[in-house]
Every structure is written in structure tokens, then in C-alpha cells.
């Protein structure tokens, strides 16, 4: 597992995952065992399938949290209950400052001056997402994620009917965007990315009412439906990378268990970031149990979809404790 941590970060920045150079003894034994006859394999797979029901447990929990969090903003303003004032970019939760990490970064780089409240809010949110899993923000809070998820279903239907096809981009583009938008903030002194950010636009629209900027969000969605699946989240959004960085040291993650896996690949089909699930490909797992890398949004779709329970949520340290 040595070097895997840095390796996972490189993969998040855009490098393609590769077959591990070293595979542990235990993992190798299991890989070996799995080279059974096709008939045996199918029988075993069928057996597990028979005991499996399609479930949406994590998706439903996640959608509930996401909708609740965003509506809390809306109703705090509308009903004047002052629970969560502001928008996703910056807010106050019963008085405590919370500031989105990427928005804070843009403002700090553009304005080059950090006041105490800005620092406190950013530090609080940083600690929060270190504990909760970095990109957990994306799938559990970001309003664009939910909308894009719904339009993704439409995209997949159209692909099924062969009306459209998915065009991939190089994932390194997101790293390039992150660097360029940061540089633009420093050089121009404007928070250039905020003009494009569908997360901020949607959050403000939910709270302060619709705006013309929703047209831009619609354009992004159309692009994703007809041309490239989940393009914004996968290839562009620097917010995702910022939170991904935070998630590198997070204890909350999905863990893969080679022993339970039948390498059907269903998890990679539902995943927003399938490169983090490279180890589920037959022969690729370097260990018996492997934590999923930092680019994972902890959305739980793979956990829901795995017919044999090979992917599970885990809190590092806590599971051993329990």
C-alpha cells in the first residue's frame, strides 16, 4: 500500500489508474481462486444475485440531506427563522460563520486580504469536511449535483436508445481549470469562477429567487444530456477538486473488499468518478481491503448497487472501535 496515498491524489488530478505493481500475498490468493471455470463463476454470481434486492438506501438518505440542507437556507430567509443565513458560498449557522472553501479561496486570491470572520468560517468548514469526507460536499450538499443526477438519468436513457453518445474528456482538465481559475483570481483581481459556478447560481436562485443565470445552468445541463455525461462535475468543477484535496485525509470513506467482489462492474457504471473504483477490475486490487480514493464523492451509489456487498461505508478508526 506504500505510495498509494500519493498515487490516489495523482489519479484525482487526472492521471489514468494503472494495474498495481505490487499485489499482497492474501490478495493474490483470492485473485488466483477467482480464476475458476466460467460455469462455476456464473453459478456463484447467480447465487449472490438471488439474495440481493435492488436498493436505493444511500441515494435516498443523500437526497434527503441535500434537499434539507438547501431548503434550510431558503426557509431561514423566507420564514425569517435565522437558522442558516446566507447562501452556499458563505453563511451563518445559528450565528457561526461557514464559508465555502472554493469561494473563500477565490476571494482570498482576488482580494489578497483575509479578515477574521473569513478565516474563522473557512477553517470551520475545512474541519467539517475533513471529518465528513471532502467531496461528500458534492453529492450530499451541492444543488447542482442533484439536478445533474436527474439529467444524467435522461442522458443514459437517450444513450440506451442510441440517440446520443457519451463523449469523454481528459480528467486532467479539471486540474487545469483549478489552476487557471486560481491564477485568474490572482491576476485579474476578480472572482472569475463565481460567474460560472452553477453551485453558487443555483444556491442563490433557491434563496433569492430565479435569475437569468439559471439559463447558463440550463445550458450546462443540455450539454451533459446530449454530449457528455456529468461533464461539469467530472471535467470542470474546481470546487470538487478543492474538496477532493480536503478529503485526502478524511476518515469517512467507502472501502472495497476483494473477497466479496465478483467483478461485475455495476459499481463503475453508476459511479460519477469511476477511476476511483479501478481496483474492482479483476486482478487490479493490491490488497484484500482497499479504501476508495479521495476523488470519491461518498455518494453511496456503488454501495447501493453492489449485489454482493463488496463496497461499504467505513469510518477509519471508528469501525475498529466498534
- Which positions touch another protein (CB under 8 A)? 19, 41, 76-77, 85-92, 97, 99-100, 103-104, 107, 110-111, 113, 115, 117-118, 121, 167-170, 172-173, 176-177, 180-181, 184-185, 188-196, 200-201, 204, 207-208, 211-213, 215-216, 231, 235-236, 263-266, 268, 280-284
Q: How far is the CB of 20 from another protein (least distance, A)?
A: 11
DSSP states along 187-215 = HHSS-HHHHH-HHHHHHHHHHH---TTHH
Which one, 7 or 264, has the nearer CB to another protein?
264
Which one, 229 or 284, has the nearer CB to another protein?
284
Q: How far is the CB of 249 from another protein (least distance, A)?
A: 25
Q: How far is the CB of 207 from another protein (least distance, A)?
A: 7
Which one, 198 or 247, has the nearer CB to another protein?
198
**Mutual orientation of helices 116-132 and 238-247 as an angle, nearest 10°?**
70
Q: How far is the CB of 320 from another protein (least distance, A)?
A: 31
* Residue bearing cell 443555483: 202
Which one, 8 or 89, has the nearer CB to another protein?
89
Q: Quote the DSSP letter at residue 251.
A: S
Q: How far is the CB of 84 from another protein (least distance, A)?
A: 10
Do residues 295 and 178 touch, judged by C-beta distance below 8 A?
Answer: no
* Alpha carbons 278 and 92: distance in angstroms, whole number: 39
Which one, 198 or 291, has the nearer CB to another protein?
198
Question: Which three cell numbers mark 282?
Answer: 479483476
Do residues 28 and 106 touch, judged by C-beta distance below 8 A?
Answer: no
Alpha-carbon Rg for the chain, nearest whole angstrom, is 21
Coil/strand/helix, residue 168: coil
Amino acid at each position: 500500500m506504500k505510495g498509494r496515498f500519493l498515487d490516489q491524489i495523482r489519479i484525482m488530478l487526472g492521471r489514468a489508474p494503472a494495474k498495481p505493481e505490487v499485489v499482497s500475498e492474501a490478495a493474490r490468493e483470492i485473485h488466483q481462486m477467482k480464476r475458476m471455470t466460467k460455469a462455476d463463476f456464473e453459478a456463484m454470481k447467480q447465487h449472490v444475485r438471488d439474495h440481493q434486492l435492488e436498493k436505493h438506501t444511500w441515494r435516498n438518505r443523500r437526497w434527503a440531506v441535500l434537499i434539507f440542507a438547501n431548503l434550510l437556507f431558503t426557509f431561514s430567509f423566507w420564514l425569517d427563522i435565522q437558522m442558516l443565513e446566507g447562501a452556499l458560498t458563505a453563511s451563518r449557522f445559528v450565528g457561526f460563520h461557514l464559508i465555502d472553501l472554493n469561494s473563500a479561496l477565490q476571494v482570498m486570491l482576488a482580494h489578497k486580504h483575509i479578515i477574521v470572520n473569513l478565516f474563522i468560517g473557512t477553517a470551520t468548514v475545512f474541519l467539517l469536511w475533513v471529518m465528513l469526507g471532502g467531496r461528500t460536499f458534492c453529492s450530499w450538499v451541492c444543488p447542482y449535483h442533484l439536478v445533474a443526477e436527474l439529467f444524467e438519468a435522461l442522458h443514459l436513457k437517450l444513450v440506451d436508445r442510441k440517440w446520443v453518445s457519451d463523449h469523454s474528456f481528459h480528467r486532467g482538465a479539471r486540474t487545469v481549470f483549478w489552476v487557471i481559475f486560481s491564477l485568474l483570481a490572482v491576476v485579474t483581481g476578480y472572482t472569475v469562477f463565481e460567474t460560472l459556478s452553477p453551485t453558487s447560481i443555483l444556491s442563490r436562485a433557491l434563496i433569492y429567487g430565479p435569475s437569468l443565470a439559471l439559463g447558463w445552468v440550463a445550458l450546462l445541463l443540455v450539454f451533459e444530456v446530449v454530449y457528455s455525461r456529468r461533464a461539469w462535475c467530472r471535467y470542470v468543477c474546481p470546487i470538487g477538486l478543492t474538496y477532493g484535496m480536503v478529503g485526502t485525509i478524511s476518515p469517512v470513506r467507502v472501502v472495497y473488499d476483494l473477497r466479496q467482489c465478483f467483478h461485475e462492474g455495476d459499481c463503475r457504471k453508476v459511479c460519477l468518478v469511476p477511476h476511483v473504483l479501478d481496483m474492482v477490475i479483476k486482478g487490479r486490487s493490491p490488497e484484500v481491503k482497499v479504501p476508495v480514493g479521495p476523488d470519491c464523492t461518498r455518494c453511496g451509489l456503488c454501495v447501493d448497487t453492489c449485489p454482493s456487498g463488496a463496497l461499504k461505508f467505513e469510518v477509519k478508526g471508528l469501525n475498529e472501535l466498534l
